Structure 1
Amino acid sequence: MGGTKILVALFLCLMVSSTLGQFSSHKRLSYQAQQCRLSRLSSNEPNQRFEFEGGLIELWDENEEQYQCTGVHAMRVTVQQNSLALPNFSPFPVLVYIERGEGILGVTYPGCPETYHSSGGRQEGYRGEEERGFSHSKDLHQKVHRFRRGDILAIPPGAVHWCYNDGNEEVVAVHVADLNNPANQLDQSFRAFYLAGASENSGQRGIRRLGDRHGQRQFNNILSAFDSELLAEAFDVPEELIRRVQQPENRGLIVRVEKGEMRILAPEGEQEYEYERRRKYMGLDINGLEETICTMRLRHSLDNRREADVFSRHGGRLNIVNEHKLPILRYLDMSVEKGNMFPNTLYSPHWAINSHSIIYVTRGEAHIQVVGHQGQTIMDDRVREGEMFVIPQYFAATARAGNQGFEYVSFKTTSSPMKSPMVGYTSVFRAMPVQVLTNAYQISPSEAQELKYNREHQTFFLPSGRGGRSTRF
C-alpha cells in the first residue's frame, strides 16, 4: 500500500510538472481568426447584461476587432450580499480585479489534499481514519482565500472556482480571460463549464450559454446531461439526489444564500494556517505537490503603496504585479499593473514590447492617443470610469489624466511585461547619440540635447509643466 501511494504521488508530480512546463514555454496559439489590422480603437462599457437571483454578469463584446486582435475576453461580475457565484471552470487562465467589496474565493486543484477544516477543536474527518474513531461530521476541503477591494486574483485554467460575498456591500469584479493562452487547445470562443446552476433562455433573468455567439441555446450545468443512474453509482448516492442536482431551480449562475448557511466556509484567522502546518507535521495526506501548485498564492494587493514600482511625487504611482511578486503568474503567462495618475499628469509615450494591454478605468478620466505602425492615429478619445479599451503590442500610446486624476488597471498577456518609453532617463531617445538625432530629424545639436535630457530625472509619469521631479525604486 505504501509503495502504491508513492507511485501515485510520483505520477501526480510528473503530471503537474509537465503541465507547468507547458505553461512556462510561453508559446501562443496561431489562430486564423486572430487579426490585428486595426484602423480604429475605442473605449466602451459592457454591451450585454444578464441578471440572476444573486447578482449579474456584464460582458464586453468578444467579437470586436480589438478583442479579436488581443485574444482576450472581458466581463464584469456583481455578486450581491450573501450570494454565491456557482462553481465553474474554464480552459484558459483568468485574472480577476476586485473593484469593490470583499468575500471568499474557493479554487480547487485536482490532486491536492484538503488543507482547511471548517471548525475549531480537534481535527476530525481525515481520509482513512475510520479505524481511529474520528468523526466525519466536520467538513474538510481545500484552502479558501479571502479577498478585498484592490486585490488581483489569479485563476489557473481548468481549476474549479466559486465566490461567496460575506461582506457588507456588493462585490464587483472585473475578469479578463486569455483565450490565446497555450493552455487552451480549443478555439478562441469564451467557454465556462458550470458544475451547478441552470437558466432559461428567456427574459432579463435568463442567460444564453456563455461562449455561444448566437445565444440561442439554454444553459445547464454539465452534470445535467449525464445518465442519472450512472452518476448515482459513481457518487454512491440515491438516484433521487442526483436528479435534484441535475435539475435545480432556475436561479441562474449567481444565487442567494440564507444567512448563516455559509459561516463554516469563512477562514478563521490563523486557524487554517496552523491546521495546515499540523497536517504536514503529522505526515497526513502528503502527495508531493505541496511545494508546487497546491501552495501557490493566488492573491496580491494592487493598492499597497510601499510596493509601488514607479513613484512620482508630482505624477502618481504605478504598481506592477508580475511573476516575481506573484509566482503563479509565471505559469499563467499573464500580469497586471495599476496606475494612479495625479490631475493633468502625462504618461510618457511608449510601446509594450511583449504583451497586449487590456485597460479598465476604475476612477477619473483621461485623454488617450494610440498610433499604429503606419503612423496613423487609431485612437484619440477621452476614456471614463467603467470603460475598457485595448492597446495592442508595439502600438505606441500616451495618456493625459483629467482634472480629477486617472486610475486604471491594465491586464497584460505576459508574466513579465516590458515597455519602451520615448521620454525619460530610460528612454530610447536618451540612449541614442546626439548625431543620430540631429541627422534623423534635421535639428541642431542643442535641440537634440533637449530631446535627450529635458526629462532626464523622470520616467513614465510626467508632471504637467517643467520642474517636477520623480523617483523610481
Structure 2
Amino acid sequence: MKLVDTMTFFLFFLLTLCVTSAVSVEAGGAPTSSQYLRHAGDLRELIKAEGGSVRSWGGALEEFPNASLGAGMVTLEAGFMMLPEYSDCHFLLYVIEGSAFVGLMSPVGIPTNARRIEQGDVFAIPRGWVSWAVNCGSSRLRVFAAWDTSEGHHRGECTHFHLAGASSTATAAAEHQKDTGSILRGFSKDLLAKAWDVDVSHVERLLRSQHGSAIVRLPSRSGTSRATCQDVVNQVADTWTKTSTISQLAMGLGDDVNGEQGPSSAFGLLPLPGGEHVYRLDRSSADVANKGGKLWLLNVHRMPALRQLGMGAYRLVLRPGAVVGPAWSVNAHHIVYIIRGKGHVQIAGPDGRNELDAEVRAGQVVAIPRFFAALKVASEEEPLEIISVTSSSMPLSSFLSGTTSLLKNMPLDVVTHAFNIDSELEEHFREKRREVTAILPQSHSSESQDLSTSFLSGSRSLL
C-alpha cells in the first residue's frame, strides 16, 4: 500500500511540473537562452588534427535575419603550419593568446601581408585571398573567428579550397569533418604537367610528397627550432619585397598575345591590395576610458581593408559591476565572444519581449541582432572582457544612458508625456550619468569624464 501511495505521489508531482512549465511558456515566460547564447560545448569540429583545430558554432547564426554570419575558434600548436588555402567567406579573426607568422596573398598573387600576429591583434582575410600560418613560438595560438557566408557555395557554410595537402576524405567522413585535400588533386597529372611545362613525374612527386592535410607538423629542417622557422619567415618576407614579377603585377603589366611584355588587358580591373590587413587593437589607445573600464573601436577609418569585408570589431573591458547599455545597433548585427570573466547579458526585442536573460562567462558567444537592444553588466566579483565582431565596417549605435542617451537629449515635454511622468522625475534621470559615455561605472558618485573624446566624434559609431 505504501508503495502504491509513493508511486501515485510521484506521478502527481511529474504532472504538476509539466502543467506548471506549460503555463509558464504560455504566459510569456523567459525564453531559453540557446537561440542567442552558445556555449563552448556547442562547438562542432570542422578540422581536428595533432597540430590544431577549426571549430564552429554552426554555419550561420540563425537569429540574424537576412544575414549570413558565423563564428568559431581556431587553434594552431607550436611547430605546426596551416597549409595555404582560400575560402568563399570573409573572415575577421582576433588573437586571444599566442602568436604566429601569417601570410596573405591577393587574388592576383601579390603578397599583402607577411608578418607576425600576436595576442590582441585583429586579422582580416577577404574571400578568395590565399592565407597560411606558421607557429614558430613555444605556445598554442588561439583565435576567435567570425565570418560572412553571404556568397558561400553552400548556404550558411564556408567552403575552403586548399592548395596543398593529402586527401582526407575517409577520415573526414568518419569524424563528420570537412575534407581538406588539395584542389590540385582534381586535375589530371598530364594536363597539370602541360600547364606547368614539367614532366608528369614532377607533378606526381609534388602531389604525393605531402602526407598531411590542413594542419601539418613542420619538418626539423624548417620548424622544430625557432631559428630555422624564422629563416623560412624571413625568406617569405624577402620574396615579398624583391620579386620583380610581383612589382610588374602591381603596375598592371602582363604578357600580350605574342608573348611580349606589355600593358595587361585586365589593368584597372584586377583587385589590388586594400591596405593593411592586421591591426594591433589591444595595443592602440582606448577610445573610451573611465572608472567603468575601457573600449577599443575598430572600423573602416582605422583599417580600410574592412570596407571589402563589410565587418568591424570592438574590444570591451568592464570593471566589476560596470554596465554598457541599453543600446541597439542601427545597421549591424553583433557576435560577442566572452574572453575572460563573467557577467550578465539581457536582450530586449519588439513589444518589450525579453529575448535573453543569461549569466555569461569565458568561452561563450552571444548573438545580438540588429535593432535589438542589449545590456551588458560585469559581475560584482571580477571584470568582464569581450571581443565583438559586427556585420558593418562602420556600425552606428543608439544609447539610452550616458552622455549620448537619446532620452537625455530628447525634449523634456516629449519625455514627460511619452512616459506620463512629471518633470521632476524626468529631471532626476536626466541629471544622472552626464559625464560618461558608453561605459557606466558601478559607483553612483560623480564619475570621471572619459579620457578620450574620439568616441564623441567619428569613432562613436561602433558599439
**TM-score between both structures, scaled by the size of structure 1:** 0.76
3-state secondary structure, aligned to 1:364? strand
1:264 to 220, 231, 234: 231
2:198 corresponds in structure 1 to: 237
Contact 1:52 / 1:205 at 8 angstroms: preserved in 2? no
Alignment partner of 1:444 out of 404, 422, 426: 422
Shift in Å at residue 173 of structure 1? 1.4
Identify the match of residue 130 of structure 2 among 160, 163, 185. 160
Any stretches of 5+ residues in structure 1 without a counterpart? 1-37, 115-141, 211-217
> Does the 8 Å CA contact 2:81/2:134 hold for their aligned counterparts?
yes
Matched, 1:254 2:220: no
Q: Could you tell me which residue of structure 1 aligns to residue 28 of structure 2?
A: none
**CA apart distance, 1:110:** 2.8
Contact persistence 1:94–1:157 (CA under 8 A)? yes
Quote the offset at 1:248 in angstroms.
5.8
Of structures 1 and 2, the one with the larger relative CO (CA 8 A, separation 6+) is: 1
- Number of residue pairs aligned between Structure 1 and Structure 2: 395
Matches within 5 A, 1:384-463: 384-402=361-379, 403-463=381-441
SS at match of 2:401: coil
1:52 matched residue in structure 2: 49
Is the counterpart of residue 66 in structure 1 residue 63 in structure 2?
Answer: yes
| Aligned counterpart, 1:363 | 340
Q: Which amino acid aligns with 1:293?
A: L
Indicate the residue corresponding to 1:376 in structure 2: 353
What secondary structure does 1:58 align onto?
A: strand
Shift of 1:284: 6.2
**Amino acid across the alignment from 2:119:** R
Partner residue in 1 for 2:38 = 43
CA distance in 2: counterparts of 1:295 and 1:286, whole angstroms: 12
Q: Compute the displacement of 1:88 (Å).
A: 1.0
Asked if 1:80 corresponds to 2:41, the answer is: no
Partner of 1:137: none
* Aligned residue identity for 1:188: G
Query: Per-residue displacement from partner, 1:21-52 (whole Å, max 9, x unpaired)?
Result: xxxxxxxxxxxxxxxxx994223224223421
Distance 2:216 2:65 in 1: 32
Structure 1 SS opposite 2:194: helix
Q: What CA RMSD, in Å, does the superposition of the two structures yield over aligned residues? A: 3.1
Q: Secondary structure at the match of 2:335?
A: strand
Tell me the residue number matched to 2:149: 179
Q: Which amino acid aligns with 1:187?
A: R
Question: In 2 relative to 1, CA 384–202 (structure 1 residues): closer, same or farther, beyond 3 Å?
Answer: farther
Q: Displacement, 1:404?
A: 1.1
Deviation at 1:348, TM superposition (A): 2.1
The residue identity in structure 1 corresponding to 2:421 is I
Distance (whole Å) between structure 2 residues aligned to residue 68 and residue 75 of structure 1: 19
Question: What is the match of residue 160 of structure 2?
Answer: 192
Matches within 5 A, 1:95-114: 95-113=92-110
Counterpart selection for 1:351 from 303, 311, 328:
328
Q: Deviation string for 1:71-92 (max 9, x for gaps)?
A: 1122211111111111111122
**Which moved further from structure 2: 296-305 or 104-113?**
104-113
Question: Which has more radius of gyration?
Answer: 2
- Contact in 1 for aligned 2:152/2:159 (Cα 8 Å): no
Percentage identity across aligned positions? Answer: 27
Unaligned residue ranges in structure 2 (runs of 5+): 1-32, 223-228, 253-266, 454-463
- For the Cα contact (< 8 Å) 1:89–1:157, is it kept in 2? yes
Kept in 2, the 8 Å contact 1:78–1:170? The answer is yes
Letter in 2 for 1:424: G
Contact 1:352 1:420 in 2 (8 A): yes
Provide the secondary structure at the position in 2 that maps to 1:220.
Answer: coil
Query: AA paired with 1:162?
Result: W
Give yes or no for contact 1:352–1:395 (8 Å, CA) kept in 2: yes
1:456 alignment partner AA? R
In structure 2, the CA distance between the partners of 1:209 and 1:246, relative to structure 1 (3 Å rule), is farther
- The 5 Å alignment of 1:300-379 reads 300-306=279-285, 308-312=286-290, 314-379=291-356
User: What pairs with 1:271-290 in structure 2 (closer than 5 Å)?
Assistant: 275=241, 286-288=250-252
- Distance in structure 2 (CA, Å) of the matches to 1:228 and 1:209: 27
Q: Which amino acid aligns with 2:416?
A: T
Residue-by-residue CA offset, 1:426-461 (whole Å, 9 max, x unaligned): 111012111111111111101111222311111211
Compute the displacement of 1:293 (Å). 3.5
The C-alpha deviation readout for 1:335-382, integer Å capped at 9, x for no partner, is 111001111111121001110000111111110000111211111111
Greater fraction of residues in helix: 2
What secondary structure is seen at the aligned counterpart in 1 of 2:340?
strand
Determine the structure 1 residue equivalent to 2:115. 145
The CA distance in 1 between the partners of 2:85 and 2:344, in whole Å, is 38
1:331 and 1:204 map into 2 onto residues whose CA distance is 32
Instruction: Return the offset for 1:199.
Output: 5.1
Query: What CA distance in whole angstroms lies between the structure 1 residues aligned with 2:203 and 2:238?
Result: 34
Structure 1 residues 269 and 320: alpha-carbon distance in aligned structure 2, compared to 1, 3 A threshold: farther
